Amino acid sequence: MRKPARPSAQYFSLYSSPMGSGGVVAGAAGLIEVFLPFAGGNRAEMHAHIGKLHPGTRCSNELTERCAALLQRYFAGERVEFPLELDKTGFTPFQTRVYELVAAIPYGCVKTYAQVAAEMGCKGAARGVGTAMARNPLPIIIPCHRIVGASGTMTGYSAAGGISSKRILLMMEGISLDAKGRVVS
């Protein structure tokens, strides 16, 4: 099967958080990528990083500005929803379905990979859900940090900061973790 084409980025905005600067990138059809602030960089470093990965970005637009403002509020501790247009051009049909289900997980809640697979009607596809989460270009908007292993364990997190940032995000949302870093039911 041929891999879907990556969407073309035209716009970007930056946002600030206590952890550092982050960024968002969009094209004509919607958001393409979110960069989390966990790398600890400043605005100039984030701008350079986005320019390197998306050289076609030149300025902001209403969507990137709105997304950046929502992410800034989220990282300030506000309970925020993200009703934003997403460019799904590069998503496979499986990823699209996974991302739709994960995007519907409420703030402060978690599900397991197996639960998401079962909701899709694919009980044995927990690994496929994990693969889709690892390729999620829109963390927080598609809250892959809210997906945990079967026993509440933290599994891989491909966004900046890895599992440490996943723990921080869950605790920011009021999720309790035990001494081993597992979600407490």
pLDDT digits (tens, 9 = 90+) for 10-56: 999 999 999 899 999 999 999 999 999 987 789 999 999 999 999 98
Catalytic site residues? 144
Domains defined along the chain, listed by start? 10-76 (3.30.160), 93-173 (1.10.10.10)
Give the pTM.
0.91
Q: 65-74: per-residue pLDDT in tens?
A: 999 999 999 9
Query: Are 34 and 141 a contacting pair, CB within 8 Å?
Result: yes
* Nearby residues of 121 by Cβ (< 8 Å), 6 or more positions away: none
Helices (H), 85-173: 93-103, 113-119, 126-134, 162-172
CA-nearest of 130, 117, 167 to 145 is 167
